[in-house]
Structure 1
């Protein structure tokens, strides 16, 4: 049976539970501990399983949810990617379609452009062909000339100008070539060329399409518009660009000869590194043009306008700037020879650090022009107006400012020896520290002119209003001619040199030996003199002078002291230069009848000593005595600029002692007191002689009065080493570098040796040359005679490529030839005199001449006064008188300018070794006083013949 299901409801059950709690407690209390543990353990396992199940269930749900999220996200990303991909594909399709359309359009445009270009090219070619055909027919119909009549000329011009406008620059070159080859643009043709004025030829390039392979010849483009044209590295000859527009054109590195740019427009044109000769730039405009590093020869820039132009580092020779307007031009480091600025206007011009030769600024106007640190030879500023011009530290040689109007101009530290300021106005100008020796200020106006520290030795101030304070501020006014026509004196460096009657001898002089008194003159009691008292023993007195207070060796190098005195026979005066250690560096002396002597100052000299020696009287009578008076010592400052060469003014009626005095050598040998075949020689300002000692392979220096010479170059045996020489035949002194230049004949070279102490070897200036003679002009060009090539060449120091100036046409007797040229001389006009030895004549070659002029001899070998025999050493004085040493006539002959015969001045007494004889002459020279020096080769001596 199935149990009966209880009918008790839930309420009854709850009541029963509430009714029997005690019974339950009793039941529970009846359970033991083990039963409790069993009961609990039985509950833990299901509970753990339940918890684990719940945790697992939650984790599974979480994982499932996460997976669903990831799937949902992936689905979303995939959908987004699909959408993007679809969009990109659509965009790419659109871009591709657009690009294709553009390419199609571009290709179509290119095709159209190409077709157009080809059509244009075809059209232009057809234009050229048609033009050439029509112009050819026109030429044929007019006897080969477009200018045979005005109608033809007009038609040809119109057609040509029209074709130029339609064609490009490259084709225009073809038109120009056609016209040129047809003879219609021929600049040298007898008939006129086709008028191309106003032809538009901009941007045309002649560099790679030029006529006859980068060479333009006999072409006329007068009046054409050639802006921005290119002529780079083109050689151009006989061209006509007159009235052309050549703005911004490039002539870089061109070689141009006989080209006419007159009345042309050349603004911003570039002529740098170009060579231009026989060029006409007159009336042209050259604003912002560039001529840097260019060479201009025989060029006219007259009446042109040059502004903001660069002419730096250029070379200009024979260039005319007549009435030219120049503004803001840079001529720095430029060489200018034979330049004329007559009537020109120069404003803000930089001529600094330049070398000028034969420059004329006559009647020009200069404002804010800078000549500082330049050398100007034969510069003419006559009737010129100069304002705010800078000549500071400039060397002016033979400069003339006659009747110039000069204001606010700086002549500080300038060397203007013998400059001419006759009738000039020099207002507010500054000559501080200038060397104005022998300058003429005669009749000039000198308001507010500063002569502070100026050397005015022998300057001329006649008819001027110069003030006492102006002159007293000068460094020296010795022997200057004052306005009252008296001579000025510098303070005497000798104390009591005038033998003051009221001053004791011992106050100024030191009596070394004997007895000297100050005696009154028999002529006037106000004048006294130094007289010998102890007649039997003689006497000596001396005085020392502090040089440091009187001379600044840095400001005035190459200065010299002058000692003057009046004296009787029996009196000798000596001047010594002494250093800080008391050693005598140099000395000189003189006695009756001479009245002065000079001593070149050395930078380490600190004092002078003047020694006056009275000899003992012999056979004294009542009427005789030994005396001296008016002893004066002064300094001539800055003799360096007197100038580079000694050129004495020898009177036309001068005579020389017939007995020579041996001043160097006298016996053959290699000792320092001997010479062995002396050849060339050079006499310096202080009478120091430099000798080419031929067979001793050395250069020897002899100071006047010395018994031994000093080897200053070579002397180490013959050889090719830099410390050796081999048969030196000539020598000269380069004063600018203070060095010797030597013809090292045996080594076939020209060498330079410094004169500084301690120099052990030289340097080679020119090699592979058979030199014999040397000369240097005032511009420091070196001239060398080549006895093998029978020529003379001119060299710029440092450049081994010379310029032919004489001979060079083979050995011969023609006027353009030489035969064994030996010694040479160059005057200040760069005229070359050559001893043409084997032709027995002396030739004169003017600068630039292709033939020489016979100025002595040329009548065959002989000893007549119309003849020469072996001419060697030669000299030309300031009057143009020629002096020649004849090797085989044993004489020196004087040949006046233009004379048909000469006059023997020394020698001519046969071959010999007597004082009046010579034997095989070589070099010849003069000192500043006109004394003659001859290298007497076979007698191994140098002879001096005193001028009378």
Structure 2
């Protein structure tokens, strides 16, 4: 009897360790990205070139369907756009042209955007215009500007960034030389949204380079007010902006400062990802925060995987990875997510039945446990089968669990490129975890050794 209860206690300990291990590895207080990036286009060592595997001063980038990457670069009087598919560093040319004023030409491009139909909008700074290229087209059509440079609302002056509204195709433009943000409702004229004069007041900009429009929040506008070293937030219809990142007119490298920020984007939590150009870093600025957190780059320009050199744009792919145009290193860098807080993608609460089975596969170790509970009486039949055992555990671990117990259970699921967890989904749950964190592996290894010891003790006592 004593031996039986000893076995039951050890089985309960094993269950607790498995659940605790999965929970510990799937939760972290904040999203963490790799400090070293992977080069997904161009040369990892910064070599410039103008072929299918090398880039030359890449400018605009966008993330397309299935996390494909659109990259625009140039060499002398030649311009091209390439498409890079995930896992391939071989670019596919989709636009190839020369310098000029024709609708099939460019003159100093600075940004691009893509709509839901795959149309590509290219901001042509030298020609003060935006052209729209349909998939497979050999020339674009004029959709904004093109009337020479100037300050009237029919013209642009050295525009730097664009944002295309997904539902209306209205084009928002950082009209940098005019220190304003304009929105083009049609091909002939624009409306003034923000700014219009040079300065550091709440209703002014000083050379704004980047913008982002939060279409989920009534088109709230965020502007990288570059020479004022700040990010300005403009509510829809407002005549003044408010500073939400950086310090107006003060540049620096402290976490509450920016140094010529030139681009930004936003995630679904309304956190800002800011290209802190002068500090060669990407800064994450949470909603309402008074300082940021460096999430990419070291603050020192260089060509190492952890460094950036004159970054221009930042994007996010479907996994939350940071995609950076590392301009002066002639490459596109990807910083993958290592760990992110659990988010409830599905949530149910249910009373489950009173039987529990757990199966775990850990590299070369397979264990199966069957446990039946009834009120306060617990029994175990054939509690342990060890098919194959190994004390060496690799960095890749898969845990699958089917759980049914007379307990209230809330389910949650978190997915990422390196971390996939599903916990107790209704009456059947499958949890898989793949991680390359050394700290997580060490933690898991110690628990697995203890788990193996528990199995051995059960075997001895039976």
Q: What TM-score results when the alignment is normalised by the length of structure 2?
A: 0.61
- Alignment match, 2:50: 670
Paired residue for 1:818? 205
2:226 maps to 1:837: yes
Identify the residue that residue 153 of structure 1 maps to in structure 2.
none
1:741 counterpart = 2:121: yes
Q: 1:741 to 1:652 in 2, by over 3 A?
A: farther
Q: Check conservation: 1:685, 1:927, Cα contact below 8 A.
A: no
How do residues 120-199 of structure 1 correspond to structure 2 at under 5 angstroms?
Answer: none
Whether contact under 8 Å (1:834, 1:844) holds in the other structure is: yes
Q: Provide the alpha-carbon RMSD of the alignment.
A: 1.7
2:79 corresponds to 1:697: yes
Inter-partner Cα distance in structure 2 for 1:694 and 1:904:
30
State yes or no: 1:772 paired with 2:156.
Answer: no
Aligned residue in 2 for 1:717: 98
> Which residue in the other structure is 2:178 paired with?
789
How many angstroms apart in 2 are the aligned matches of 1:694 and 1:653?
Answer: 38
**Partners of 2:301 and 2:103 in 1: CA distance:** 37
Measured after TM superposition, the shift of residue 680 of structure 1 is 2.5
d(CA) in 2 for partners of 1:905, 1:674? 26
Quick one: which of 682, 707, 715 aligns to 2:62?
682
Between Structure 1 and Structure 2, which shows a larger proportion of helix residues? 1
* Structure 1 residue aligned with 2:187: 799
CA shift in 2, pair 1:908/1:723, >3 Å = same
- 1:788 alignment partner, SS class: helix
Deviation for aligned residue 1:778: 3.5
Per the alignment, residue 455 of structure 2 pairs with none
Mapping of residues 76-115 of structure 1, within 5 Å: none
Residue in structure 2 matched with residue 416 of structure 1 by the alignment? none
Deviation at 1:716, TM superposition (A): 2.2
Q: How far 1:652 moved relative to its partner? A: 6.8
Cα distance in structure 2, aligned partners of 1:669 and 1:731: 21
Q: CA deviation at 1:909?
A: 4.4
Q: Distance in 2 between matches of 1:760 and 1:813?
A: 43
Question: CA deviation digits over 1:824-865, x for unaligned, max 9?
Answer: 111122111111111111111111011111111125111011
CA distance in 1, matches of 2:203, 2:28: 33
* 1:907 to 1:819, Cα distance in 2 relative to 1, 3 A: same
Q: Does the Cα contact within 8 Å between 2:142 and 2:187 map onto a contact in 1?
A: no
Instruction: Give the Cα–Cα distance (whole angstroms) in 2 for the partners of residues 707 and 778 of structure 1.
Output: 29
Deviations 1:187-219 (A, max 9, x none): xxxxxxxxxxxxxxxxxxxxxxxxxxxxxxxxx
Measure the CA separation in 2 of the matches of 1:729 and 1:691: 11
- CA gap 1:919/1:825 in 2 versus in 1, 3 angstroms: same
Within-5 A mapping of 1:425-464: none
Distance 1:826 1:651, change over 3 A: farther
CA contact (8 A) 1:739 1:754 kept: yes
Equivalent pair of 2:271/2:284 in contact (CA under 8 Å): yes
Distance 1:815 1:717, change over 3 A: same
Q: Is the 8 A contact 1:777 1:827 kept in 2?
A: no
Q: Structure 2 vs 1, CA of residues 940 and 653 (structure 1 numbering), >3 Å: closer, same or farther?
A: same
In 2 relative to 1, CA 817–870 (structure 1 residues): closer, same or farther, beyond 3 Å?
A: same
Deviations 1:165-203 (A, max 9, x none): xxxxxxxxxxxxxxxxxxxxxxxxxxxxxxxxxxxxxxx
Q: Identify the structure with the greater strand proportion.
A: 2
- Cα distance in 1 for partners of 2:220, 2:167 equals 13
- Shift of the 827–719 alpha-carbon distance from structure 1 to 2, 3 Å rule, reads same
- Cα distance in 1 for partners of 2:72, 2:181 equals 20
Q: What CA deviation, in whole Å up to 9, does each residue of 1:227-277 have, x standing for no partner?
A: xxxxxxxxxxxxxxxxxxxxxxxxxxxxxxxxxxxxxxxxxxxxxxxxxxx
Whether the 8 Å CA contact 1:909–1:916 is kept in 2: the answer is no
Asked whether the equivalents of residues 883 and 894 of structure 1 are also in contact (C-alpha less than 8 Å), the reply is yes
1:496-536 CA distance string (max 9 Å, x none): xxxxxxxxxxxxxxxxxxxxxxxxxxxxxxxxxxxxxxxxx
Local SS of the residue matching 1:658:
coil
Does the 8 Å CA contact 2:251/2:259 hold for their aligned counterparts? yes
Asked if 1:729 is matched to 2:83, the reply is: no
Consecutive unaligned residues in structure 2, runs of 5 or more: 1-26, 149-155, 339-462
| Distance (Å, rounded) in 2 between the aligned partners of 1:687 and 1:777 | 20
Pick one of 244, 249, 253 that aligns with 1:863. Answer: 253
Q: 1:800 offset after TM fit, Å? A: 2.5
C-alpha distance in 2 between matches for 1:915 and 1:862? 24
Query: SS state of the match for residue 942, structure 1?
Result: strand
2:320 aligns with: 930
Partner of 1:763: 141
Secondary structure at 1:883's aligned position in 2? strand
Aligned to 1:107: none
> Quick check: 1:847 aligned with 2:236?
yes
Q: Do the aligned partners of 1:886 and 1:920 also contact (CA within 8 Å) in 2?
A: no
Partner Cα distance (2:59, 2:311) in 1: 8
CA-CA distance at 1:886 after TM superposition: 1.2
Deviations 1:576-624 (A, max 9, x none): xxxxxxxxxxxxxxxxxxxxxxxxxxxxxxxxxxxxxxxxxxxxxxxxx
**Are the aligned partners of 1:777 and 1:830 in contact in 2 as well (CA < 8 Å)?**
no
SS of the counterpart of 1:838?
helix
Which residue number in structure 2 is paired with residue 598 of structure 1?
A: none
Within 2, Cα distance between the matches of 1:651 and 1:802?
A: 45
Q: What are the residue-to-residue correspondences of 1:441-520 with 2, within 5 Å?
A: none
1:722 to partner: Cα distance: 1.8
Choose from 292, 298, 306 the match for 1:916. 306
* Distance of aligned partners of 1:742 and 1:651 in 2 relative to their CA distance in 1, 3 Å threshold: farther
Tell me, in whole angstroms, the C-alpha distance in 1 between the residues paired with 2:223 and 2:323.
19
User: What is the CA-CA distance between 1:692 and the residue it aligns to?
Assistant: 2.6
Q: Give the Cα separation in 1 of the matches to 2:295 and 2:262.
A: 16
Shift of 1:885: 0.9
User: Any conservation in 2 of the 1:750–1:771 contact (CA below 8 Å)?
Assistant: no
Deviation sequence 1:312-353 (CA, Å, 0-9, x none): xxxxxxxxxxxxxxxxxxxxxxxxxxxxxxxxxxxxxxxxxx
Cα deviation, residue 678, structure 1: 1.5
Partner deviation per Cα, 1:259-318 (whole Å, 9 max, x = no partner): xxxxxxxxxxxxxxxxxxxxxxxxxxxxxxxxxxxxxxxxxxxxxxxxxxxxxxxxxxxx
| Higher RCO (C-alpha under 8 Å, 6+ residues apart) | 2
SS at match of 2:86: coil
Contact 2:116 2:166 in 1 (8 A): no
Does residue 892 of structure 1 match 2:282? yes
Q: What whole-Å deviation, never above 9, does each CA across 1:76-97 have from its counterpart, x for those lacking one?
A: xxxxxxxxxxxxxxxxxxxxxx
Contact 2:246/2:257 (<8 A) preserved: yes
Deviation at 1:799, TM superposition (A): 2.9
What SS does the corresponding residue of 1:888 show, helix, strand or coil? helix
Question: Aligned to 1:874, what secondary structure does the other structure show?
Answer: strand
In structure 2, the residue matched to 1:827 is 214
Q: Mark the CA change 1:652 to 1:832 in structure 2 (over 3 Å): closer, same or farther.
A: farther
SS at match of 2:97: coil
- How far off is 1:651 after superposition? 8.8
Deviation at 1:791, TM superposition (A): 0.6
Equivalent residues in 2 for 1:418-429, closer than 5 Å: none
**Aligned residue pair count:** 293
| Aligned residues of 2:203 and 2:240 also touching (Cα < 8 A) | yes
